[in-house]
Amino acid sequence: MKLNEIYALLDALAPKALGDEFCKTYGAYDNSGVLVDAGGEIDKALFSLDLSLAAVEEAKRAGAGLIVTHHPAVYSKIGGIRVSDFDPLGKKLAECLKHGISVVSMHLNLDAAPFGIDESLMEGILSSAQRAGAGLRPPKDVAAIYQPLSVGGYGRAYDVPPVSLKALAEGITDVFGAKRVAVYGDERTVKRAASFCGAGADEGALEFAAKNGADVVISADFKHHILALALETGLAVIQLTHYASENYGFENYYRKIRKQAGIPCVFHTDEALL
């Protein structure tokens, strides 16, 4: 399979144009798309949230000619590359080129796409509430979107079946395979949640959550002042690692692509980051 053929499949579910729209609308920066083109046919693809050294080694062992990541393998401009233990990026890129491994990154476009990573976070949280014994899921169309786009968007507020804060956190730990979940705020019954995949919980996100009646904010990478502001606003907080908040949705994306790709696809998880 040619790189452009599999990229067309990846892009169909999470168009790069959607990431471009997000950047233009909300003043963001991204670097998604084909970031390493090693040439040659691709007979197998490996999906990994990051271009980690472990993912590169697994791709080499598996004979994968493509690594698909969520986080951009190259994010900012780089002035040079050294193949050194002190330059992990240079080492990873050199290994990919040496072994004929191309790299595609699907970042903000996949965050915001319908059924993408941010929407998957919401779906996982709804499943977590169900697993906690809270009953039937409410209709999905009650969700409000923090940063809407022509389709999809980022950040959501939505009803959940009434569930205790503690039980919801335990359900999230289970559903997301999360190893590090922190809970802040007084125990309460949660009827409405706001979630933001990755590091998106900023002041604007908290204001959105409060205005949309959320009882809890669920995200990752909370800065101290944001966490303090959330609690002072009366919001509870459930914090996952950045990795855990996004790996669940990225694996959902992988499953969709695997069904259509026509080549073997495998999934890599860096367990230490969950």
Q: Average pLDDT in the 97-104 region?
A: 98
| SS3 annotation, 18-69 | HHHHHHHHHCCCCCCEEEECCCCCCCCEEEECCCCHHHHHHHHHHCCCEEEE
- How far from 24 is each of 20, 86, 216, CA to CA, in Å? 6, 35, 30
Instruction: Tell whether the model's pLDDT for residue 140 goes beyond 70.
Output: no
CA angle 266, 246, 41 (to 5 degrees): 30
* Pairing outcome for strands 66-69 and 102-105: parallel
Strand partners, 262: none
The predicted pLDDT at position 78 comes to 80
Q: Output the pTM of the full model.
A: 0.95
Q: Average pLDDT in the 22-42 region?
A: 97
Q: What is the mean pLDDT of the chain?
A: 95
What domains appear along the chain, each with residue ranges and CATH number?
3-110+248-273 (3.40.1390.30), 114-240 (3.40.1390.30)
Instruction: Tell whether the model's pLDDT for residue 123 goes beyond 60.
Output: yes
Whether the Cβ atoms of residue 175 and residue 127 lie closer than 8 Å to each other: yes
